[in-house]
Structure 1
Amino acid sequence: MTPVSVTAVLPVFNDVEALKTAIPKSIEALEAYGKSFELIIAEDGSTDGSRECVEEWERKDPRVRLLHSDERQGRGRALNRALAESRGEIFCYYDVDLATDISHLSELLDHIEDGADAATGSRLMKNSNIVRSGDREIASRGYNFLVRLFLGSKLNDHQCGFKAYKSSTLRELVPKIQAPHWFWDTESLVLAQKEGLRVDEFPVVWRQGPGTTVRFKDVSNMGKDILKMWWRLHVEKS
């Protein structure tokens, strides 16, 4: 496969309506960045026509690639698969609802170009501009506080779905990442910091979408994942 500068990934599960906006806006933003790119749609067991939507784009634009799974893998496994199939020197991904303003994409990629091993948008920094419901705000701040408390992270926001990595670095981290779903985001950033890598965080404009695929069960499981990772880092290694 011919290498490209940037691999951008959209993890997708029953998001056909969001895709109709996210794909053309992604292509526009990536073209504006001025580097060679591929746009991978990691479509994860959708039943709403998401696969067919991406297949149409594949026929129109060879830079768009579909990675389809018949069965639900979870966000983490979908990203691992996308990384294995990617050709980019920089690997980035963001939520298909474009909750984080796509205008931040060049800033995200610039952090990696400037020497960061990983970079993440943040909804919880002083200059972040966010709109979301009060219950989600409380849950997010509580979750991130626990990550900092138990896992020693220095970051404000671990779950913002707007991240980039040096691909070679991420390939070294992935075998150490155990989370198959939502906790993948947090685990990748915590491990990168534990390895002494440079992880940049910057404020973003973020708007809560009309719906979310994160459920109470996911939040509960991520709480358990914090404790399991703490055990792995502090007890199993001792």
Structure 2
Amino acid sequence: MSEIEVSSVLPVYNDREALTIAIPRSIEHLEAIAPGRFELIVAEDGSSDGSAEFVRECAESDPRVRLMHGDERLGRGKALARAFAGAHGPIVCYYDVDLATDMQHLAELIAAIRDGADIATGSRLLPESNIVRTGDREIASRGYNRLVRTILKSHLYDHQCGFKAFNRARLLTLLPSVESNHWFWDTEVLVRAQRNGYRISEFPVRWRQGEGTTVKPKDVLEMGSAILHLWWQLHAEKN
């Protein structure tokens, strides 16, 4: 295999069924974008449904597939950070295993980093975005992102879209300051990156809500608390 240029990460927790589609489709798109110069890392986070065993089988037949297994659950953000630290490519990216974001956008995502962006992120909330999801998810997402923009002074529109790419060296410089280990990781990375002058490319995507995806009141409260906690941290660091 040639030198790795792109390391793509699939964060996984009990997603064996989704992996049967996500792995071959990922390889198909990555081969078109960086032929012979990519790896697909599955950041498996303490699954109990056979996800790790399935990925091991895939890796045995295709060396481009790598498994990063955790016996105990780290949290989505921490699992991603570990995968990026162990990646071989100067460009790293990740997307949700349900492929909610249309994979046709993957070439655009990688191209943004090749063109000099430090971070690239898909957005479901730009006027040109094409999304389908339930009303409760739409209201919760727009309300959450408005709070991030207002309280944390972000200039981006969608902080939680699971479709992002990074200049790996720049990301690794930023990660020691990121405390979130789970869902808020995406937002904290983007907010801290803006405060450090990182160049961020946000572009509209076609996105479809995955089956079984729900918004729980507990999730909304936790994310709201995380916004306020990060605001306090940034305020303390500034002073």
Shared fold, TM over 0.5: yes
Q: Which residue of 1 aligns with 2:11?
A: 11
The amino acid that maps onto 1:15 is D
1:47 is matched with which residue?
A: 48
| Correspondence for 1:132 | 133
Give 1:123-202 correspondences, 5 Å limit: 123-202=124-203
2-structure distance, mates of 1:218, 1:139: 10
Deviations 1:190-226 (A, max 9, x none): 1111011110100000000102386443332121110
Residue 23 of structure 1 corresponds to which residue in structure 2? 23
1:3–1:89 CA contact under 8 A, matched in 2 = no
Q: CA RMSD in A?
A: 1.3
Unaligned runs of 5+ in 1: none
Please state if 1:208 is matched with 2:212. Answer: no
Q: Which shifted more, 207-216 or 74-83? A: 207-216
Is the contact made by 1:37 and 1:63 (CA closer than 8 Å) also made in structure 2?
A: yes
What is the distance in 2 between the residues matched to 1:165 and 1:90? 6
SS in 1 for 2:202: strand
86-95 or 28-37: bigger deviation: 28-37
Give the paired residue count.
237
Matched, 1:99 2:100: yes
Q: Percent identity?
A: 63
In structure 1, what is the Cα distance between the partners aligned to 2:137 and 2:8? 27
How far apart, CA to CA, are the structure 1 residues paired with 2:20 and 2:111? 27
* Cα contact 2:137–2:215 (8 A) shared by 1: no
The aligned counterpart of 1:112 is: 113
Q: Distance in 2 between matches of 1:77 and 1:213?
A: 22
Instruction: Label 1:32 to 1:214 Cα distance change in 2 as closer, same or farther (>3 A).
Output: farther
Q: Distance in 2 between matches of 1:212 and 1:77?
A: 21
2 CA distance for matches of 1:216 and 1:93?
Answer: 27
Is this contact kept in 1: 2:137–2:214, CA < 8 A? Answer: no
C-alpha separation between the residues in 1 aligned to 2:173 and 2:163?
Answer: 20
- Inter-partner Cα distance in structure 1 for 2:43 and 2:217: 23
Partner residue in 2 for 1:217: 218
Q: Which runs of 5+ in 2 are unaligned?
A: none
Q: Are residues 58 and 216 of structure 1, via their aligned partners in 2, closer, same or farther at CA, if it must alter by over 3 Å? A: farther
Matched with 2:233 is 232
Is 2:151–2:231's contact at 8 Å kept on the other side of the alignment?
A: yes
- Alpha-carbon deviation of 1:173? 0.5
Greater mean alpha carbon deviation, residues 227-236 or residues 175-184: 227-236
What is the CA-CA distance between 1:127 and the residue it aligns to?
0.5
* Residue deviations 1:125-161 (CA, integer Å, cap 9, x gap): 0100000000000000000000000111000000000
Q: Check the 8 A contact 1:108/1:121 in 2, yes or no.
A: yes
Q: Which runs of 4+ in 1 moved over 6 A?
A: none
Q: Deviations over 1:72-121 (max 9, x none)?
A: 11001101110111101101000000000011000000000011000100
SS of the residue corresponding to residue 4 of structure 1 reads coil
- Matched residue, 1:34: 34
Are the equivalent residues in 2 in contact too, given 1:182–1:218 (CA < 8 A)? no
How far apart, in 1, do the equivalents of 2:214 and 2:10 lie? 14
